[in-house]
Structure 1
Amino acid sequence: MVIISKLSGQLANRLHFVTYFIANSKAHNYQLIVTCFPEFHALFEPQVQSFPAIILGNSIIQKIINRLINKSKSILCKLHIDIPRVVFHSIPESDNALNPFNINDEAFINLAKSKIVLPEGWLYRDFKHLKEFKKDLAAFFSPKPQFKIQVQTDINKAKSLGSTLVGIHIRRTDYKDFNNGRWYYPNQLYLSKMLEINQILPHCTFILCSDEQLDVNDFQELNVVYTPRPAIVDLYLLAACNFIMGPPSTFSSWASFVGDVPAYYIDDPSITITMDLFKDFIQ
C-alpha cells in the first residue's frame, strides 16, 4: 500500500504527482490512498473506476489523518524509531539532481506490495504507465458538469471567431518571484508571440487563461476570448484547444497531457515561433 499524505504546489502540481502513482498502482496492483487532495471531489467526477486508488473526500478527515501521519513521522524520525511494515520513503538525491525516480523500480514495487509506504519528494515518475493508461486517466480526472458547461461555452464562442483555437496561458502571481521572475512575461510579450502565430494561422482564435485579471484591450488586434474563470475551467479550456502556448508550467503541461494538445513553452522569448516548436506532452 502507498499512502500519499503530502502534496506540494497548486492544482496542476497535485494532478501530475498523483497521476503517476495512480497509473503505477494499476499496473502493479497495489492499493493507493491519497489523504491530501481535498479539492478533488469538488472539481472532478470520475467517469471510470478502474484504478485501485482511494482519494478521501472529506477535508476535515483528511486534515486529521494528515496531521496524525506527519506528526507521527516527525516524532519517529527524531527518535529513530522504526515501525514494522511502515516505510517513510524519500528521494532527496533524485530531487536535488532533477533526476526522476522511476517508481517501477523493483525494490519500490516490492515495498508497495508488502508494506505501507509514505513517499515524500517530487520527482516520483512512471512515464511508461502514464502513457499506457492515458485514456482512463483522462476519464478519471473528468471535471464536474458545471465546469464542462463553462468550458464548452467559451469553446463555442471561440469557434465562432475562428476555426483553430490557440490557448494562451499567462502565468503571473507566483511567477513574479519563482525562478527569479524568469518566466514572468508582460502582456506585450504574449501579444508579440500571438501575432507570430497569427501570421502562420491567420484564422485562429486565442483563448486567454490567467491567474490574474487581464486587460483584454491589450490584445484587441486579434480574435480573443477571455473572461476571469476558476482554475479548473482554464485548465480544461486549454485542453480543448488545438495548440497551447505559455511559460514552462505544470498547468499547461497537464492540459497538454489530458487533452492531447501540442504545446510550446516560452523559455527564450527571442525565438521566433514556428509550428514545429509545438510538441506533444513532455513528461
Structure 2
Amino acid sequence: MILSRRYGQLGNRLVLYSHLIAAARHYRVEFRNPSFAEYADLFPSTRDDVWCRYDAHLRPSPNHRPSRRQPSQRCRNALMHTMQAVAKSMNAIGMRHYPAKVIRLGAGEICDLEGDRFRSAIESGRTLLLQGWLFRSPRLLEQHWPHIRPFFSVSKTDRDAIDQRIRQARRESDVLVGVHIRRGDYADFLGGQYYYDDELYSRWMHSVCDQLPGRRVRFLVCSNEQLDEKAFAGLKISRGPGTALRDMYALAETDWMMGPPSTFTGWAALIGNRPRLELESREYRVVVPQPDTSQPFVEQVAA
C-alpha cells in the first residue's frame, strides 16, 4: 500500500497514517507513506527512510534496505510529488487495475478498511495507491494500537524538552489541564466557526477552576500564535514547549485537555490516552471530566 497524496497538517497526517498502518498489519502487507515528507524528520522511525514505510510486522523484509544516510528534504518531496502524479494520471486515464490499483476518495467519502472494496483491492495482490483522507477502521486501530503507538515515539531530545516543561508545570499544582488555542487557519475554516477569542478561552478556564474548589489548577496552553497573558489574569498558566510536535505530545501528558475540534488534540488524546473536551461552539459549557482509572481506548480520531 502507498499513500500517494498528503492531507492537512501534522495531526491529520498522523491520524491517517495510524489507520493505514492498522490495515497493513491486518492484511499482512507493507505500507509506504511518502506523503509524510514534511514531518518525516520528526520521528526516529521515519527519519532515515525516504518511503516512511511500516513493515515491522513483516521483518526481516528483503524489500527494506536501511538508508546509509538521512534522505534530503528535496529527495523526499520529489518522491512525494512523483507518487501523487502517478496515481492521478492512472486514475485520469482509467488505469485502475494495472500495473497497480488506485482508490481515490471524493470529498467527505469514507472508505472502510475492513469493507469489501478495500479488502478486494488488497487481495488482488497488486500495489495499491491510495488518495483520500477518510480511510478508517476504528476497530483495527484499537486492535493494533499497542504495536502502532511505539512507531510514533519522539526523539530523546524532544522527549527531554517535553518532560522538563511538564515537570515545571506540575510544580505547586494538583491538576494540569491542557488548552489548545488554535487560530490562524481557523479564521477561515468553516467560516470561522471554531475561531474563539482570548476572552472566551479565559472564561472556559475560569469555569474549570470554579468546578475544582480547593484544587491548585494550572493550564498548559499551546497555541500557534502569541498570546496576550493579560487576558488570562487570575489563572496559572504554563506555555507549551513551543514546536507543534512538542506541544502536541506535551498535551498528551496533561490530566485532560480541551480545545476546538482538531486532530491536533485528537492525536494528543490518543497517544496519551487522556480525556479530551471538544469546544464545539461559543456556547459550549465545560464540565470537568471525572477521574477514571480505567480510561478506555480513546476513539476521538476515528472520524
Fold equivalence (TM over 0.5): yes
Aligned amino acid, residue 155 of structure 1: I
SS at match of 1:240: coil
Structure 1 residue 227 displacement after superposition: 5.3
Task: Show the counterpart of 1:64.
Answer: 78
* Consecutive unaligned residues in structure 2, runs of 5 or more: 47-53
Structure 1: gaps (5+ residues): none
User: How far off is 1:88 after superposition?
Assistant: 1.3
Letter in 2 for 1:152: D
Quote the Cα distance in structure 2 between the aligned partners of 1:86 and 1:268: 44
The residue correspondences of 1:1-283 to structure 2 (distance < 5 A) are: 2-46=1-45, 50-51=56-57, 58=71, 59-81=73-95, 84-92=98-106, 95-96=107-108, 100-113=110-123, 114-201=125-212, 202-226=215-239, 229-276=242-289, 280-282=298-300, 283=302
1: CA distance, partners of 2:181 / 2:85: 38
- Rounded to whole Å, the distance in 2 between the matches of 1:52 and 1:35 is 19
| Matched-pair contact (CA < 8 Å) for 1:161–1:223 | no
Q: Secondary structure at the match of 2:195?
A: coil
Contact 1:207/1:224 (8 A) holds in 2: yes
Deviation at 1:115, TM superposition (A): 1.1
Q: Secondary structure at the match of 2:226?
A: coil
Distance 2:222 2:185 in 1: 15
The Cα offsets for residues 53-102 of structure 1, whole Å up to 9 and x where unpaired, read as 9899633333222333333344444444456241111232xx436xx321
The alignment partner of 2:6 has SS state of: coil
Write out the 4+ residue segments of structure 1 that deviate beyond 3 Å after TM superposition. 46-57, 72-83, 276-281
Cα 1:183–1:80, aligned 2, differ >3 Å: closer, same or farther? same
CA contact (8 A) 2:91 2:102 kept: no
Asked if 2 retains the 8 angstrom alpha-carbon contact of 1:263 and 1:281, the reply is no
Contact 1:235 1:251 (8 Å CA) reproduced: yes
Where 2:282 maps in the other structure, the secondary structure is coil
Aligned counterparts of 1:8 and 1:49: Cα–Cα separation in 2: 22
* Residues 52 and 15 of structure 1, relative CA distance in 2, 3 Å threshold: farther
Identity %: 25
Report the TM-score when normalising by structure 1.
0.89
RMSD in angstroms over aligned alpha carbons? 2.7
For residues 39 and 55 of structure 2, what CA distance do their matches in structure 1 show? Answer: 15
Q: Which amino acid aligns with 2:266?
A: S
* Alignment size in residue pairs: 278
- Alignment partner, residue 50 of structure 2: none
What is the rounded CA distance, in whole Å, between the counterparts of 2:251 and 2:39 in structure 1?
19
Q: How has the CA–CA distance of structure 1 residues 103 and 263 changed in structure 2, closer, same or farther, with 3 Å as cutoff?
A: same
Distance in 1 (alpha carbons) for counterparts of 2:270 and 2:210: 26
Bigger drift between 64-73 and 190-199 goes to 64-73
C-alpha deviation, 1:168, in angstroms = 0.1
Structure-2 separation of matches of 1:248 and 1:255:
12
